[in-house]
Amino acid sequence: MSTVFRRIATVLPAIATQDGAGVSLKRALGQSDRQRMDPYLMMDVFFSQDPKDYLAGFPSHPHRGFETITYMLEGNMLHEDHVGHRGELKTGGIQWMTAGRGIIHSEMPQQVDGAMRGFQIWLNLPRDEKMKAPAYQNIEADGLPKIALSKGGEITLIAGTLELNEKRYQSPVQASVTQPLIADVHLAPDEEVELPIPEELNALLFLFEGNVEVEGQSLHSDQSALLTSGSTLRLKAGKIGGRAMLLAGKPLNEPVVQYGPFVMNSVEEIQQAIDDYNSGRFAY
């Protein structure tokens, strides 16, 4: 069976915005309904050396109908929610929160200076799971598989399974329906790697350091590339290396209706979420 290499179909620049109580960030995916990638809804990138950009944090707010994955490259943030989950997200770790039928949570910085740098990804839930019970996992850096590459680069596997160099690596985080594959791919200067990605998965690459080539087409920092279908993603780093977030997942092919922190399949379900939250029935 011949290898079909994925190529860049569309390039999306990250857009500067704010969220929470005024946290400065860049939106790498999900700037509009047309710029999603099923099953992913959104990806935000936060990076600042200035505490004024992040100290206000993300005070208590609701979600329903999807999952959030927060990956902390640098910094320290505390998660608390109405269900009773509490977790401190530290450098190199992740938190995976399933909002399901509803969760009210906060994410607040636990530092007063220094850099805060990371990603938050929104992953849709299938129709049959949107009203499941909320859940939360906190996984520290040493709990995520690290894959050493030939020239000194490294892949951190955040979610899913990856087969590379005749070995099978598996993250502690899995989801059977959307089959998310999420990885931090850090390439040394001039390093090349071929990553197998099941053909049935949609895939996106967001470059946040250096530069890389995908089948001869250059991708630069703060750009997202929606990729064509194929069985393998071949990356080649430039002279200063490159670092990117890889997102892949099985599309749900279901209607998406979003109103702020609520993501459902119909306008009626969104209205129910708003009514439940406003009346105090939310998440119970």
Q: Is the dihedral of CA 255, 181, 135, 121 positive or negative?
A: negative
Closest CA to 204 of 29, 16, 70, 55: 29
The token pair at 153 is 């680069």
| 192 assigned to a ligand binding site | no
* Cα separation, 3 vs 174, whole angstroms: 26
| 85 assigned to a ligand binding site | no
Task: List the beta strands (DSSP E) in 14-124.
Answer: 15-19, 23-29, 40-48, 58-63, 66-74, 76-81, 86-90, 94-98, 103-109, 116-124
The token pair at 177 is 């329906």
Residue 110 per-residue DSSP state = -
| 79 assigned to a ligand binding site | no
**Rounded to 5, what percent of the chain is helix, strand, coil?**
10, 55, 35
Measured in whole angstroms, the distance separating CA 284 from the mean position of its chain's CA atoms is 27
| 105 assigned to a ligand binding site | yes
* Cα separation, 172 vs 161, whole angstroms: 9
The token pair at 260 is 């702020």
- What residues are designated binding site? 61, 63, 105, 107
- What residues are designated binding site for Fe cation? 61, 63, 105, 107
